A and B are shown apart, each in its own frame.
Chain A
């Protein structure tokens, strides 16, 4: 044991290292909860962060447009649209997790920041601004929650196998992680009521619109445009009402739902000062009064141009609008091209068309961004063997339909052939706008009252007047065709649906419209055009089949996420899936 005594100091010296608990304390500089939720400005980052999910969704929208008869992707077919849609796929699957994530973050904000009364500005002289900003963030929180719920309802709403019209599981708060696996879906009406209740809180706390300068209107100035507003909340209420009234979600055709929708759209339009002319198309205009809620990208962003421009404008020509959509654009005098009154000539199909055709579609021989005749760029060659087709200027890029998408693109404020080409214009991404409000109002009034040319009692304008505003912007100041169809509810409906298709093309709206109208089963196969250049420099046109479209009745609704149903047996799948 003597030995041990001598050894002991050494052992203890060595083992002393285990006492180096300080060595094992690694102070990393990470962002802790306190750093976020106890700082006046940073804490509001919880809300500002949520907006990210709803901005610049162009390519998601295009992906949904490929499910319709409006267009195809130039490099791949869309299998879901060709009749192979099973319950395990849904291009909107992401909406489920994203929406609940954002709802959770809203409640995180309310619990960790709002309820603690943390001021935004400390200085007593800023008391008014402080109060406004606190209320505004609270209102934004509820608007964003309502928006997440709206996306859930739009995407996943539908009848269960037993026919009950269901929405999504309503979550008002933060649950334990395990408890999310036992949620069950609320009824469609309960969901509508929940969204409206959340929007009422938003309306009570948000300014109607943002205007004035920061000094005159602290917290509510134009510098905040892009945030949720009271008007946006009203507009969202109206959209929710429109879907709730639509055939797919209103199987008994309860007319009062259409009336409700008409009233809500009327409210939005009246709150904006009545039926006003729409501003010119310009997706680089960040101060467009028609945009109720829009997101804005940074400047100098060429993503859209690079991917959408035709090859001779150094783009990849990714989105190819269909011949079906091109045929939907009326003649310059407002008549559909298949009517004798139209100015349409099949041998020169691109002359004398509705203004919007020239603004939305790149076509063969096109050389202008805004009208039929101007020379912004060298004439496009989408004909067989042309520079803007496969094997042309960029050999591996071309169009499957004979067209490229022009809508949303900047008006070539830069030369794409230049060295390091760039645009200096921003782009806005419109989530809620008056074009949609006018068209939806016209639809709701026509469905509710059946008389498109009469302003019903309590309404200040008719369905026809609302639709006329939209067509006026397209250059139809005299519109005999509108006058003709407005005498008849069914004809008016046909025109309105076509108008909606054109105006809202490539915003992802048509897919949902076709579903809610229960029209998706009647969808046409996607057509394109094969253009041959003749020796006398004229062109011949021949329609070609591009992609099949095939939907069944189950496609009125979308499937809930497959793996979610495996985890949560309380969830009922939509009919047919």
Chain B
């Protein structure tokens, strides 16, 4: 195998070289101006994107490139690049997964329906980058670029370039921002009397009578007996209105021909909304130093170190548990405290958040993430002009450890007893003894390391009529898995590609990718994936060259195959067994005798033929600049995702036993079609400049070949349908006294106020066969709006982001589904966000009403004013090149059918920290 690959690669290299050498005569052509997506002035140099996986001439590429400058991104406050990218990149949807202070947000990225790969300075570092050190972000999203990273590049690249490393006059940037954060939305909770009234309503619905007497409800209302009839507003008790955070950074970079450098240090701190006990609070420090030095005429060396060190203190109970308790403990559950020290709980609700926050203990997490890289750039211009070899070695390490003090505060329940005189008296009964944690626990949770070794040989030849770029690169990625029973990530990727631009009009690109992964065996271990791209710069043709209105027009298309490995944490080509001593076996013998036997069973059936998942990608698009003010770009994509892995158990009889007997197959085929587009309009009228842009992405993924049970009812079959379909019942309102008599058999004994379903197959029974697609759960459309203006040093910039074309299943949130005698929220007293009434309330959970049905679906579309900046730049003075003060607002408004929860994250504020609205005041100085 080895010999074959070597021969093949060398052969193709020769072949392309031979073609290249036979074309054209050397002549320098000035590089054309690239479609500029923002205000950053692009210099000629910048159009050569020199990456460890290839050198690309961005003005002569067949690929789709979207660029956005760091300065533009930094109109969003804080230190988080993900937050800054929201709404600014066509086709890119960024979802914040957690709002807990001190977390990075765990943003998930969706680009054109898939997950893009993030590169920092060309290296697979993940999102280990600070917004304040970003020079530029390039979004490379088509077959041309996707192929270059092989296994990693299945869905586009987010290419982040950090400051420094270029020859430039020394620059110092100082930045300080202070932020105030407030919860943008919190669920509505019921007061004690409201809660009691709902419980009575529910109880009476089932004929169980009042649980709370009118006297009790009156007492909740007037607060006359706060011990026996408490009315606790949890949100007011535990949450502050505002929390603050600070960001400061110092950035210096510059250098000359012989050496360039960049140094960045950033500080951020934060605190939580907790009102009692110790707040969440923490800080982190991140730094990056870069140096690039010339050793001699043909060799440069470069190295960089990135580090991020964090410390976060929090109550031991954890942010999610805190919000769960705030939300799910009714206002009348118990008085928080009796006397000075006795924390109270009840038999129904046995966590006292006040006790936890005040006396539960604390936890401090320390994190240290570091990235080291070192590299050499060879320039063989003495041997062959234009020939270079760049290589680097990178290691990332992640370490976390924590100090923990976990106390159990003493808890009491209230008992009403009669004293000797027959008077009611209040007694406290111990519920949990106080346990103080005298030792500080230390955990060493996570040490993760990975290694990358990569390099690229590039050859650029400028000729009279044409430019040739050739790249041959290698990438080795190694991420050891700490669990001995699970595989590492071990990948080898080679690319050989060439780009040929003729007369700056016709551009041809071809790449041959060779990907190897330890997740496959035999001849499948290494596979080859070709890519082709074509572009035509129509505006350079004679018939358009002198056109007054069209400044630039380029059509491009690419076809490519990308292979990716599977994500399973086992090797699918191995038979594996599971079990061990006394594993899942029954207890034998009598009395307490030692058990000593084994339990084993097959857990995976091998499929040695398991093969790469292939993305057959087709991209086509154009870029158009008109009237010097109007930019339009459009990209269409049609991606077939072939051979995804499944056991296809739906196609086999259950009688064969469990899934363990079925090998994993390359079976599923999906197709992802859609587009992304961007329109920008920019005008300068003297000192008044303004711009307006809109970007959008649309996609839909269809399961072309899926494993599904061959249902006879056609409407249940999902092959050829959108894969994000929600399957459920079609509802027809609620049963009324008039139509309950003609109810078809549904689920249990339905009553007036239960949801009525529609019979789909005409058998006069509602059962699982009456389910069909009732909506879709992934946004098909995402869009952003960017508008701004500048006048005499003042600037105003607004970014809005929205999604559309999907449904939210309210049934997935317990905020909207009420049952039993335990938890009720403000939503119980109003209709559902889609206008439907709440179904019948019952102490016995209804098995009819909570089935997935369109009764619970609501249009999920929303639009958010995600960022606003109002800034003022002082006129240049003294050594300062730029001094700016600014006011920023993040997440200022949200338009959605949901009033109480955030449609992007229905758990926010309910079971988790709420999404925050942030106001920032800050200043930046450059000199």
Within 8 Å CB of B494, what residues of A? 15, 17-18
Within 8 Å CB of A43, what residues of B? 600
Tell me, in angstroms, the Cα distance from A77 to B748 when the chains sit together.
7
Given contacts A36-B579, A394-B347, contact A30 B570 (CB under 8 A): yes
Chain B nearest CB from A472 CB (Å) reads 26
Within 8 Å CB of A31, what residues of B? 485, 576-579, 600
Residue B35 at the chain A interface, CB threshold 8 Å: no
Chain A nearest CB from B864 CB (Å) reads 38
**CB-contact partner of A391 in B575, B598, B821, under 8 A:** B821
Residue B466 at the chain A interface, CB threshold 8 Å: no
The reply to whether B656 and A226 contact each other, CB–CB distance below 8 Å, is no
Of A30, A51, A175, A568, most B-chain CB atoms within 10 Å: A30
Tell me, in angstroms, the Cα distance from A297 to B600 when the chains sit together.
19
Tell me, in angstroms, the Cα distance from A259 to B348 when the chains sit together.
56
Residue A280 at the chain B interface, CB threshold 8 Å: no
Residue B369 at the chain A interface, CB threshold 8 Å: no
Residue B23 at the chain A interface, CB threshold 8 Å: no
Within 8 Å CB of A548, what residues of B? 749
Residue A458 at the chain B interface, CB threshold 8 Å: no
Within 8 Å CB of A18, what residues of B? 2, 5-6, 9, 492, 494, 514, 516, 526
Cβ contacts A393-433/B at 8 Å (1 or 0 each)? 11110101000000000000000000100000010000000
Tell me, in angstroms, the Cα distance from A330 to B653 when the chains sit together.
48
Of A14, A32, A224, most B-chain CB atoms within 10 Å: A14
Within 8 Å CB of A390, what residues of B? 203, 208, 211, 821, 843
**CB-contact partner of B455 in A14, A183, A384, under 8 A:** A14
Size category of the A interface is 35 or more
The reply to whether A52 and B585 contact each other, CB–CB distance below 8 Å, is yes
Within 8 Å CB of B845, what residues of A? 75-76
The reply to whether A567 and B652 contact each other, CB–CB distance below 8 Å, is yes
Tell me, in angstroms, the Cα distance from A28 to B10 when the chains sit together.
34
- Which residues of chain B (499-526) have a CB below 8 Å from chain A? 514, 516-518, 525-526
Given contacts A89-B768, A563-B709, contact A223 B588 (CB under 8 A): yes
Chain B nearest CB from A459 CB (Å) reads 33
The reply to whether A76 and B588 contact each other, CB–CB distance below 8 Å, is no
Contact stretch, chosen from B167-175, B224-232, B472-480, B609-617: B472-480
Residue A287 at the chain B interface, CB threshold 8 Å: yes
Given contacts A18-B494, A75-B820, A76-B845, contact A567 B587 (CB under 8 A): no
The reply to whether A30 and B653 contact each other, CB–CB distance below 8 Å, is no
Contact stretch, chosen from A80-88, A192-200, A231-239: A80-88
Residue A457 at the chain B interface, CB threshold 8 Å: no
The reply to whether B847 and A79 contact each other, CB–CB distance below 8 Å, is yes
Tell me, in angstroms, the Cα distance from A391 to B199 when the chains sit together.
9
- Which residues of chain A (6-42) have a CB below 8 Å from chain B? 6-8, 10-12, 14-15, 17-21, 23-26, 28-33, 35-36, 41-42
Tell me, in angstroms, the Cα distance from A421 to B478 when the chains sit together.
50
Within 8 Å CB of B389, what residues of A? 10
**CB-contact partner of B430 in A15, A36, A419, under 8 A:** A419
Given contacts A49-B585, A393-B347, contact A567 B709 (CB under 8 A): yes
Tell me, in angstroms, the Cα distance from A396 to B348 when the chains sit together.
7
Within 8 Å CB of B599, what residues of A? 45, 48-49, 52
Tell me, in angstroms, the Cα distance from A227 to B587 when the chains sit together.
10
Tell me, in angstroms, the Cα distance from A54 to B767 when the chains sit together.
30
The reply to whether B5 and A10 contact each other, CB–CB distance below 8 Å, is no
Chain A nearest CB from B474 CB (Å) reads 5
Residue B214 at the chain A interface, CB threshold 8 Å: no
**CB-contact partner of A295 in B586, B658, B662, B749, under 8 A:** B586
Tell me, in angstroms, the Cα distance from A51 to B595 when the chains sit together.
14
Given contacts A6-B383, A180-B653, A396-B821, contact A24 B749 (CB under 8 A): no
Within 8 Å CB of B486, what residues of A? 28
Of A36, A224, A395, A419, most B-chain CB atoms within 10 Å: A395
Residue A270 at the chain B interface, CB threshold 8 Å: no
**CB-contact partner of A14 in B210, B387, B474, B584, under 8 A:** B474
Cβ contacts A107-134/B at 8 Å (1 or 0 each)? 0100000000000000000000000000
The reply to whether A105 and B655 contact each other, CB–CB distance below 8 Å, is no
Within 8 Å CB of B431, what residues of A? 419
Within 8 Å CB of A14, what residues of B? 455, 457, 472, 474
The A-B contact count (CB < 8 A) is: 288
Residue B568 at the chain A interface, CB threshold 8 Å: no
- Which residues of chain A (359-398) have a CB below 8 Å from chain B? 384-385, 389-391, 393-396, 398
Cβ contacts A55-99/B at 8 Å (1 or 0 each)? 100000000000000000001111100111010110000001100
Tell me, in angstroms, the Cα distance from A11 to B456 when the chains sit together.
10
- Which residues of chain B (5-22) have a CB below 8 Å from chain A? 5-6, 9-10, 13-14, 17
Within 8 Å CB of A226, what residues of B? 586-589
Within 8 Å CB of A45, what residues of B? 579, 583, 585, 597-600
The reply to whether A225 and B588 contact each other, CB–CB distance below 8 Å, is yes
Closest B residue, CB atoms, query A80:
B748
Residue A303 at the chain B interface, CB threshold 8 Å: no
The reply to whether B593 and A24 contact each other, CB–CB distance below 8 Å, is no
Of A20, A23, A25, A96, most B-chain CB atoms within 10 Å: A23
The reply to whether B487 and A28 contact each other, CB–CB distance below 8 Å, is yes
- Which residues of chain B (539-590) have a CB below 8 Å from chain A? 570-571, 574-579, 583-590
Given contacts A11-B457, A97-B657, contact A29 B485 (CB under 8 A): yes
Residue B712 at the chain A interface, CB threshold 8 Å: yes
Within 8 Å CB of B215, what residues of A? none
Tell me, in angstroms, the Cα distance from A336 to B395 when the chains sit together.
82
The reply to whether B5 and A4 contact each other, CB–CB distance below 8 Å, is no
Given contacts A24-B516, A180-B655, contact A419 B433 (CB under 8 A): yes
The reply to whether A76 and B577 contact each other, CB–CB distance below 8 Å, is no
Residue A161 at the chain B interface, CB threshold 8 Å: no
Given contacts A96-B655, A104-B656, A567-B652, contact A55 B589 (CB under 8 A): no
- Which residues of chain A (425-473) have a CB below 8 Å from chain B? 426
Tell me, in angstroms, the Cα distance from A51 to B588 when the chains sit together.
11
Within 8 Å CB of B517, what residues of A? 24
Tell me, in angstroms, the Cα distance from A566 to B768 when the chains sit together.
14
Residue A44 at the chain B interface, CB threshold 8 Å: yes
Within 8 Å CB of B600, what residues of A? 31, 36, 42-43, 45-46, 49
The reply to whether B590 and A286 contact each other, CB–CB distance below 8 Å, is yes
Residue A341 at the chain B interface, CB threshold 8 Å: no
Within 8 Å CB of A345, what residues of B? none
Closest B residue, CB atoms, query A395:
B348
Q: Which chain B residues have a beta carbon within 8 Å of chain A's beta carbons?
A: 1-2, 5-6, 9-10, 13-14, 17, 199, 203, 208-212, 347-348, 383-384, 387, 389, 430-433, 455, 457, 472, 474, 476, 478, 484-488, 490, 492, 494, 514, 516-518, 525-526, 570-571, 574-579, 583-593, 597-602, 650-658, 661-662, 709-712, 745-749, 765, 767-769, 820-822, 843-845, 847-848
**Other CB < 8 Å A-B pairs besides A23-B476, A24-B492, A76-B844, 13 of them?**
A7-B384, A10-B389, A31-B600, A45-B579, A49-B583, A77-B749, A77-B847, A96-B654, A108-B602, A222-B590, A299-B592, A390-B821, A548-B749
Please provide the 6 A-B residue pairs with the shortest distance between their CB atoms, ordered closest to farther: A45-B598, A391-B211, A101-B657, A45-B600, A79-B748, A49-B599
List 25 contacting pairs A-B, 8 Å CB cutoff, sorted by A: A6-B384, A11-B13, A15-B10, A15-B494, A18-B6, A24-B492, A26-B487, A28-B484, A32-B575, A33-B577, A48-B598, A49-B600, A49-B601, A51-B585, A78-B748, A79-B747, A79-B847, A222-B589, A226-B587, A226-B589, A296-B587, A297-B587, A391-B199, A395-B821, A568-B653
Q: Which chain A residues have a beta carbon within 8 Å of chain B's beta carbons?
A: 3-4, 6-8, 10-12, 14-15, 17-21, 23-26, 28-33, 35-36, 41-46, 48-49, 51-52, 54-55, 75-79, 82-84, 86, 88-89, 96-97, 100-101, 103-105, 108, 169, 171, 175, 177-178, 180-181, 183, 222-227, 286-287, 295-299, 311, 314, 384-385, 389-391, 393-396, 398, 400, 419, 426, 547-548, 561, 563-564, 566-568
